[in-house]
Structure formats: C-alpha cells, structure tokens
Structure 1
Amino acid sequence: MILTPASQKALSQGLLDVLIRAGLVAVLVIACYQVFHPFLNLMLWSVILAVTLYPLHRRLKPRLGNRDGRTATVLVLICIIVLLVPLYLLGMSLGSSVAHGMEVVRSGSFHIPPPPDSVAGWPLVGERLHGVWQQAATDLTSLAQKFTPQIKAFSLTLLGKATGLGLGLLMFIAALAIAGIVMAYADAGQRSAVKIASRFFGLPKGPKITELCTGTIRAVAQGVVGIAFIQMLLIGVAFVLMDIPGAAVLSMAVLLLGIMQIPATLITVPVIIFVIATRGADVGTIVFSVYVFLAGLADNVLKPLLLGRGVEVPMPVVLIGALGGMVTSGIIGLFIGPVLLAVGYMLFWQWIEDHPAGSLPVEIPNGPEQA
C-alpha cells in the first residue's frame, strides 16, 4: 500500500496527537501519585482492615437495626478497645518494671554476682566475657562510664523505635476509622471494585479477581495474624499464671514473631530453661514446660487449616506471597504480597488454559507406546 503525501501527513499528525495525549496522561498520573503518596499506606491499611472485618460487620448488622453506619461505628470502637487495652496493660507493666529498676539502682542494693570460673574457659569469648562480668560485679559505675557512648546510641535508637511505634499505632487507629467508612459503603465499593477489575482484565475475569483478592486478604488475616494472636493468648496466659518476669513483653514478642513467620520456640524454649533452672523440675514446671512447648508449635497445625481456606490458589502460593511481601514491604506487604501472587497465579493458568484452538494437541501422550 502506497501512502500519498496527504495520507502520510495525516498519519504523522495522528501519531503526534497520540503521543501528546499519552504524555499528558503520564504527567497527570505522576502528579496524582505524588499528591496521593503520603496517604497511600493509610488507604491500603484501611482497605485491608475493611475487607478483613466485613464478615463481622455482616453478622452484627441484623442485631443493630440493619444500619450500616451504626454497625461500622460499633465494630470500629470494639476494635480500638481490643487494641488499646493490651497496650495499656503492657505500658503499665513496662512502667512499673522501669520504676522498680530505678528504685533498686538508687537504693544501692543492686549487685551483680561474680562470674563462675568456668566462663573463662568458653571458646572465643570466654576470657573477655569473664573480664567484663568481673568488672561489672566489682565496679559497675566505671564499666557504665566505659560504655557510655554505646549506651547513649542504644538509648537513642530505642527512643526512635518507640516513637515510630507510637506513630504507627496512631496511623492504625486512623486506618480503622477510615475502614469503618469503607464498610458503611461496602456495597457501592464492591461494585466499583468489580467495574475496575473488569475494565483491566475483562468482564468474565473481573468479578473472579475481585473475589480472589478479597479471599486472599481474609485468608492471610486468619492464617497469619489470627494464628499469631491465638499463639500469643495460649502462651501469654501460661506466662502470667506462672508469674514469668516480663510476661506481657514476652507475649508481645510471641505475637510479632508469629506475624513474621518465625517460630515461637525462640521465646518458649529459653523461658522453659529459665523456669526449670530457677524453680526446679516438679509437677508444675513440667506441666508448664510441656504445655508452652506444644503451644509454641501450634502454628504448624493451624496454618494448613486456616491459611488457604476460601482461596482458589494453593496454600503454598499464599504463604510464599506473605513471606516475600513482608521481606520486601514490611507488615503491609504481608497482605499485598499474597494478593499479587494469587492474581498472577490465576492469570497465568488462565492464559495457559485459554490457548487458541488447534495450538495444542487434543490428547497428550502418556507413555512411549502412545508416542
């Protein structure tokens, strides 16, 4: 086909118009992203919390007069109370522990026992550890002055972490409030999500992908955060009943380790050793040790039951997405990673199955005799 000069000019003009429009759209998208970026994590957390809590919203709705706004408000208030009460108890425990420690130091009754002679025989660090321990037992003040820069740096780092934790808590409470608004308009939000997904992936796939994203978020909330919370309750109650020092802090550490998919035995085994070493091996300590050790392994039983439930992709895909997302993007990646991997997995297999007619053989040989 030979184009006339007029046709070539028209084609060039049309291509230039398309490039200009694409450039303007790209500039608009970048500008919108820069404006929305400070609120991105907040809105992602709001959507994740709304999707996770919406089944409870539907159960409470008939009992509260079928009012979406009232139900969402009550549910958000319950979540805030459930969140703040343990944090308040944890803060009170830490505060009392710090106050008691300062009182012991001021009274002069604090004393570090001298190290056993066997410590010096430990490989690599034995002699140095024995010397530092001996100095702490004889002259703690000079040892503290010697390590003042390290203590100051550690204190500043700890203060920064505490500040970040406080800001994260405030953002989480704000996300809960926004999640309540999202749940109050859940029907309209679901229709919008289906329209957006259908526009990107086509009408047959849009609703399925929307359901997949919803199910994956809830499966991760139940299979990761839910199991970690159950483990924290099982182990924390035993720590409190056994009067373990710092039981609240250790229970919170169990929760964080469970969310990060790290075995809780890193906490339970040292506590078991501490209890047996300080209180001896009697019936109470043995029962406590067996119970706490089994509670630390409970995630191995609960995870296969809860993690992949209600999702059309295999459980290992969700688990790998959770772990990879958390490594790359932190806690919020724990939810975003499985969603992305599940959608990619579904689209990949749909692409494999939707091959053009005649591109694959009708029957694939099963053995040499059929080749």
Structure 2
Amino acid sequence: MNNQPVLSRAHIFTAAFFLIFVVLLFQVSRLLEPFLSALIWAAIIALALHPLYRRTVTLLRGRRSLSAILMTLATLLLVIGPAVVLFVMLASQVVDLYQWTVKSVQSGQWMDLWNRLKGSALGSLLEQPFVAQLDIKGFLVKGLSQFSSDLAGQVAGALKNILLLTVNFLIMLFALFFFFRDGETYYATAMEILPFSDEQKRSITEKLSGTFSAVINGIFLIALLQGVVTGVGFAIFGVPFPVFWGFLAFILALLPIVGAAGVWAPGALYLFLQGFTLKAVLLGIWGLLLVSTPDNFLKPIFIGKKAKIPTFFLFIGILGGLKVYGFLGILFGPLVVTLVIVFVQIYREEFANR
C-alpha cells in the first residue's frame, strides 16, 4: 500500500511558486501598462536597427554603451525628430483641410466640382440611378460633422495627455538605449526559459525574424516611400494639403487592395476638374511611374523569401492587426499569424504522429 501523500512538498512548492509568479507578472503588467506603447515602439526600433548597431559596436571596438548612446541619438535626430515634425505638420493640415472643406460645402464649391465631374467623360457613370440619387451635399455635411466631432475629441485628449505623451517619449528613448545595449542578453534569457528544444527555438526565431524583416522592409518602408513620393508630387503640382494626402497614401499603401493609387488618382482628377489639364496628366504620370509601378517590383525584392508565411496570410495579418491592435497591428498581426503557423508545425512534429 502506497503511504506517500497525494501532494508532496515539491508539488506544493511548485504550485505556490507559479501562483506567486503569475500574480507578480500581473502586477508588473499593470505597472507597465501606461508606458506599454513606448516600450513596444522602442523594441521595434531597436530590432529594426540592430544590424546597424552591431556595425557600430564593431567600429567602436566593442564599446556597447557608447554605441547604444550614439545609436539612440542618431535615431532621435534622423527618425523620431522628423516623425514628430511631420506629425505636427499633419495635425495642422488636418485642421486646415477641415476648415477648407466646410467653406467649400457652404459656398457650393463642392457642388461645382461635382457638376464638372458629371460633365466630364465620367458623366455617364455618374448618371447611373444608384449614383444620381445620392445626396452628395448631405453626405458631405454629415461626414464633416462626424469628422469635426472626432477631431475635437482627439485634440482634447491629446491636450489632456500632453504630460503623459512627454513621459512616454522620454521612456521610449531611455528604453531604446537599453534595448540597443542589452537586447541580445534579453533575447538569450528569453530563449533559455522557453520550454522548447533548440531546433524548435531556432524555427520560431527564424520565422519571426523573417516576418519582421518582411513587414518592416517590404511593406512598411515601401508604403512610407510611396506616401512621401505622393506628398512631394502633390506639393509640386499644386494639390492642397500635400502632407495629409501623403499620410493617407502611406496608410492605403499598407493595404493590398486599394494602394496609394486611391490618393494620387483622385488628386489628378481634382486638378483636371479645376482646369489644370497639364498638371493633372503630369501628376497621373508621376503617380503611375514613381508611386504605384515601383511597388510591383520592390515588394517581391524586399519580401522575397524573408516572409516565412504565405503572402496571403501576411496581408490578412496586417488587415486584422490594424483592426485589433491599431497602428501597431501592422507588425503584431503578421507576427501572431506566424506564431500560430509555427505552433501548428511543432504540434504536427511532436504530437500528431504519436
């Protein structure tokens, strides 16, 4: 007869340890929650620039702290600084665009443009019953009302949280230094505690790294380039609010369906309806040759075999990630999909055939 207790001291210790550990993790997550976005952005920037950091360490003969300081300062001056300036310009142009649109609706200028459009080669399409019955002016007024309400709420929220935004910015820079300097140590520690074999860890790392590189280089940076080129083209050919439209082109370029053509094509149409036929044609050529066409051969080059998941799942991950996680979902969505695929593969190798 077995007289050993059902629960030994080792079992009790293990249960207590993990219970306390989970409680501590929960408390730490609560502590980090206000600054989570800053830490995530710092981690993303550090990962994206890690090859450059390694070169800097080599040039400085292994001085990791000095290399991390220089990389953080360079990131502040060359990446974060311009991004903040563009954000301020974007906020200003959003407000100006709203005011300009309100005046255009009230003065009837929008309806003049609509009438010119109906008189153009697209008039037959616009005379279709489902289009002709649209209340264009009512739609614009209602849309602008909702837009102004959302804009006011966002501005008020930003003003209330200006101190928190400043603190988040400083924390991001502070975290960026440590992610540069100690990121490899953090990575090694994470690999040690994962309950997988070395081969499985290597598979997870390779697939996540490939997806990260594909999203950053093959999608995010190309979309950013398309947004910049679109904004520059709008500024050259006289389309108002080029920073706003460039930002919108960047957002649409992240999507596999519409793309930046959803911005530059209406911009060319706007110039045509305003009577600037030559500018409209030149903007159309600009958009076709410099914005949309490069996208077709740059993405295969940058994504190529780096993406360790099918392209379809990559874009589904981006679209779903944007919906669930917001802007960070551009990266989080594909990474989550990649993890699911890796875990399915591990399951097939370890359990399915038993």
TM-score when scaled to structure 2? 0.73
Aligned pair 1:255/2:254, yes or no? no
SS at match of 2:41: helix
What secondary structure does 1:200 align onto? coil
In structure 1, C-alpha distance between the alignment counterparts of 2:236 and 2:43, rounded to whole Å: 38
Local SS of the residue matching 1:201: coil
Equivalent residue for 2:333, pick from 329, 334, 337: 337
Superposition pairs of residues 36-55 of structure 1, within 5 angstroms: 36-55=32-51
Give the match's secondary structure for 1:331.
helix
Letter of the 2:50 counterpart:
Y
Over aligned residues, Cα RMSD in angstroms? 4.3
What's the offset of the Cα at 1:54? 0.7
Going from structure 1 to structure 2, the CA distance change for 1:60 and 1:79 (only over 3 Å counts) comes to same
Deviation at 1:188, TM superposition (A): 2.3
Q: CA deviation at 1:273?
A: 0.3
- 1:102-126 deviation line (CA, Å, top 9, x unaligned): 9xx9xxxxx925756979x974444
Residue ranges of structure 2 left out of the alignment (5+ in a row) = 119-126
For 1:213 and 1:151, the matched residues in 2 are separated by 38
- How many Å separate the matches in 1 of 2:181 and 2:21? 33
Which of residues 78, 81, 84 in structure 2 aligns to 1:84?
81
Amino acid in structure 2 at the alignment position of 1:287: L
| Structure 1 residue identity aligned to 2:243 | A
1:206 aligns with 2:187: no
Figure out how many residues of one structure are paired with residues of the other and give that number. 331
Q: Aligned to 2:49, what secondary structure does the other structure show?
A: helix
Q: 2 CA distance for matches of 1:258 and 1:305?
A: 17
Deviation string, structure 1 residues 204-240 (Cα, Å, up to 9, x no partner): 3223323332332222111221111110222122122
Aligned with 1:332: secondary structure?
helix
Preserved contact between residue 219 and residue 254 of structure 2 (Cα < 8 Å): yes
C-alpha distance in structure 1 between counterparts of 2:136 and 2:310, whole Å: 53
Taking a change above 3 Å as real, the CA distance of residues 169 and 211 of structure 1, as seen in their structure-2 partners, is farther
Shift in CA distance, 237/216, structure 1 to aligned 2, threshold 3 Å: same
Per the alignment, do residues 344 and 97 of structure 1 end up closer, same or farther by CA in structure 2, a change over 3 Å counting? closer
Query: Mapping of 1:52-71 within 5 angstroms?
Result: 52-64=48-60, 66-71=62-67
Query: Which structure would you say has the larger Rg?
Result: 1
Per the normalisation by structure 1, the TM-score is 0.71
d(CA) in 2 for partners of 1:86, 1:16:
53
2:190 aligned residue: 193
Percent identity of the aligned residues? 20
Give, in angstroms, the shift of residue 56 of structure 1. 2.0
Question: Contact between 1:90 and 1:248, CA under 8 Å: does it hold in 2?
Answer: no
Residue 33 of structure 1 aligns to a residue whose secondary structure is helix
**1:33 and 2:54 are equivalent in the alignment:** no
The counterpart of 2:299, out of the listed 295, 298, 303, is 303
Which residue is equivalent to 1:269?
265
